[in-house]
Every structure is written in structure tokens, then in C-alpha cells.
Structure 1
């Protein structure tokens, strides 16, 4: 269930508590927790609804500009039933808290035991430590390039990195990956001395939804966080090669979620 960045911010703030979708059958159930850029969003209700009964209050609770706008959004696939989905913010993603927690010696040993089990179950043999090391030495490098360095197909490589992410060891960036503080501690525990790394960027990462061309363009000018993006005007950003209308809209939505705007607005 895809939810726009501006709607996610409003769900977290409590000003949106409904969503409407056209589905042949429900794709979520009550209690489903969606991992999103703002944390966990929980599904609190799911019911089929006759669009003719929708009201302006429904539209407002779903974050639509008007009832007409809500109905326009539901006009596609009219043969599918419409569903009213209750949504609520359910707190931060536990993986974020896990990534930030630095393990003690006992936890490091338990993590290494878990990595050993992943290695033992893999058809390609041991891969976990090599992948952690690869990401650590190549932060922000695209997955296809990392996969090529170790002679792997990109989909399989990304699937394995997700297993490391579930353990709180890696973070996904708009382009590429980064070891989390937890992942750095695990890697350093196996080295003679802690590895020297560039200081961790302060601020809110760029949303992954803006696409690689826009991310590269922003990186080139040092706008690597939303707080830095907010120092540019919309026109200045639009003049950058790779920053198109869709990226501008998604950046605007992400900025709004932080209470920020483009410069001059």
C-alpha cells in the first residue's frame, strides 16, 4: 500500500486517519503495520464502501483537497470495489532504533552467530562479512556496482543486503547503502582496530523516491540532506540536470513533513 510522503507526515501528525483505494480485494488487514519513511503506520480498519456515500469529512480525513478530488482519485479502475482504510501512526520503525543501538560484546557474539547461520544456509557460501565490508568501504555506491565487484547478480545481492538490514546492520540510502552504527560496531569487532570513517552526515536523508538522477544532482552541489535542500529555491533546484517536476514534488512533500519549505517560499 503506497502512501505519499505528505500523507505520511500528516498521518504521523494525526491529521489524516483514512485512506481510500480501489482494489479487487483488500491488500491489507486490520493490524497490518506498514514500514514507511516516517515509521510504522498501522491499519486500524478495512471496509468496502460505496463511493456515492463519501462525504467532505471523508475527504478531509484522507488528506484530499475536496470530495471532488477524492472521487477523481478513485475514478480509475471503476470495476474494482472501493475500500475505506483506517490508518494511524504506530511509532518509529524498530529497525531504526536497532540500527542506532551499539551492541556490547555479548550482542556482537550473538550477531556473529546469526551471520554464521546465514552463511551456512547460502548456496553461494559465506557472504555476510564480505558484504558488510564491501558496503563499509563503498558507502553510497549503487547496488549494481557493488554486486559487480563480487560477481553477483544485482537482485540476489540486494535480497541478501535486506537480510543484513533486518538485523539492523545496514541502512538504505537514496543511492546505495551505509553501515549503521550497529553494523560499524560489528565490523570493527573483527578488526585489529576500529576503521576510520568519514563523519556521519547530520540531518534528514534525501527521500529515495526522488530517483537516482535527482539524487546525483543534489549530491554534486552538496545538498545531501533535506535541511540543505531547503536552502535552495525551487527554481534553483529545477535548473539542476536530473531534478525534474516529480523529484521537486516529492522533495516538497518530504520538506513539508519536517515543517520546511524551499528557500523564498
Structure 2
């Protein structure tokens, strides 16, 4: 179930608690939990409804501009039933805490053994260390560009990176990836001596909810962390091509939370 970034932020804030979809059959059930860029979103109800029965309160709770706008959004695929889905913020993604937890010696041994098993079960051969090293040396680079560097197809490469993410070793950004502190510890443990590298970024990452165009514009201006955003006025941010009102609002919300 895809949810737009602005809607995710509103679900987290509690101002949206409904979603409407046209599906031939329900794609979620009560209790389904979805890991998103803002944390875990839980499905609290699933109910088939007629579009004619919808009211203005439904539109407000779904974040639609009006009842007419909500109905217009459901106009596509009229042959499929309409579904009212209750949604609620269920807390931070548990992988966030895992990513920030630097492993102990015993935990490191367990992680390395898990990486060995992933390598052994792969039809394309050992890939885990190569991928971690690639991300470490090429942070925030597009997945297709990373895949091309190691001669792999993008879908397969992204599928494998998701396996590393499940272990808390990588973080997905609007553009590319970063190693988590946990992933950095794993990479560093495999180095015979400190590598000559560009220093890893320090600070809070730009929120994914601002979107790729805004992320790209900020990085082109040398802004790679949320702390750096604080030095810019709203007018200066708006002057960057790709940084629109929604992205600015998401940045300000993230700064307020920080």
C-alpha cells in the first residue's frame, strides 16, 4: 500500500487517520504494519464502502482538499470496489534503533556469520562485503549507478541492499544509501588498517520525506545534514530549484523535532 510522503507525515502527526483505495480485493488486513520513511504505520480497519456514501468528514480525515477531490481520486478503475482503510502511527521503525547500535564483539561475530550465509546462498557469489564497501565509499549515489559499478542489474542490487538494511547495516535515502553506525562498525572491523577515505558525514540526515528533487538541490548547495539546513532562511531554501513549499515544511518539522 503506497502512501505519499506528505500523507505519511500527517498520519504521524495524527491529522490523517483514513485512506481510500480502489482494489479488486483488500491488499491489507487489520493489524498490517508498514515500515515507512516516518516510522511504522498500522492498519486499524478495512471496510468496503460506496463512493456515494462518503462525506466531508471522510475527506478531511483522509487529507483530501474536499469531498469532491476525494471522489475524483477514486474515479479511476470504477469496476473495483472502494475501500476505507483506517491508519495510525505505530511508532518508530525498530530498525532505527538497530542501525544506531554499534555491535559488541559477540554481536559482530553473529553479523559476520550472517553475511557469510547470505554470500553462500547467492547465485551471483559473495556480494555482502563488496556492497557495504561500495556504499561506504559512494554515499548518496543512485542505486543504478552503484549497480553499474559492480556489473549488476539494478533490481537485483536493490534487493540485496534491502537484506543489509534488515540487518541494520544500511539506510535508504531519497537518493542512494548510507552505512548506518552499525554498518560502519562492520566495515571497519574487516579493514586491516584505516582506509584513506572521505570522512563520513556527521550530523542528522536530511529527511526522506522532502523528496529526491529537494535532496538533490540541497546536496548541490553543499547541504547534506539537517543541522546545516538550520543556517538557511525559508527564502534561501525556496530559491533552490527543486525545494518547494512541502519540502520546506518537512525540513522545518524535522528541525523542530531535532
TM surpasses 0.5: yes
1:220 equivalent in structure 2: 220
Aligned to 1:36: 36
The answer to whether 1:189 aligns with 2:189 is yes
> Structure 1 pair 192/227, CA: closer, same or farther in 2 (3 Å)?
closer
Distance 1:223 1:80 in 2: 45
* Structure 1 residues 119 and 93, CA gap change in structure 2 (3 angstroms): same
SS in 2 for 1:159: helix
| Distance change (3 Å), C-alpha of 1:71 and 1:175 | same
Structure 1 position 254 matched with structure 2 position 255 = no
Contact kept? 2:237, 2:248, Cα under 8 Å: no
Query: 3-state SS of the aligned residue for 1:11?
Result: helix
Q: For residue 94 of structure 1, what is the aligned residue in structure 2?
A: 94
Structure 2 match to 1:11: 11
Contact 1:206 1:224 in 2 (8 A): no
- TM-score, normalising length: structure 1: 0.84
Number of residues paired by the alignment?
254
1:152-187 Cα distance to aligned partner (Å, 9 max, x none): 222222211111111110111222211100001111
Partner in structure 2 of residue 145 of structure 1: 145
CA positional deviation for 1:226: 5.5
- Segment drifting more, 30-39 vs 185-194: 185-194
Residues 257 and 226 of structure 1, relative CA distance in 2, 3 Å threshold: same
Match of 1:167 in 2: 167
CA separation of 1:113 and 1:155: change in aligned 2, threshold 3 A: same
Q: Name the SS for the 1:41 alignment partner.
A: strand
| Helix, strand or coil at the partner of 2:46 | strand
Alignment RMSD, CA only? 2.5
Any stretches of 5+ residues in structure 2 without a counterpart? none
User: Separation in 2 of the partners of 1:208 and 1:16?
Assistant: 16
* Alpha carbons 2:210, 2:250 under 8 Å: kept: no
Consecutive unaligned residues of structure 1, counting only runs of 5 or more, are 261-265
- Structure 1 residues 151 and 188: CA distance shift in structure 2, 3 A: same
Kept in 1: contact 2:209–2:247 (CA 8 A): no
The TM-score, its normalising length taken from structure 2, stands at 0.86
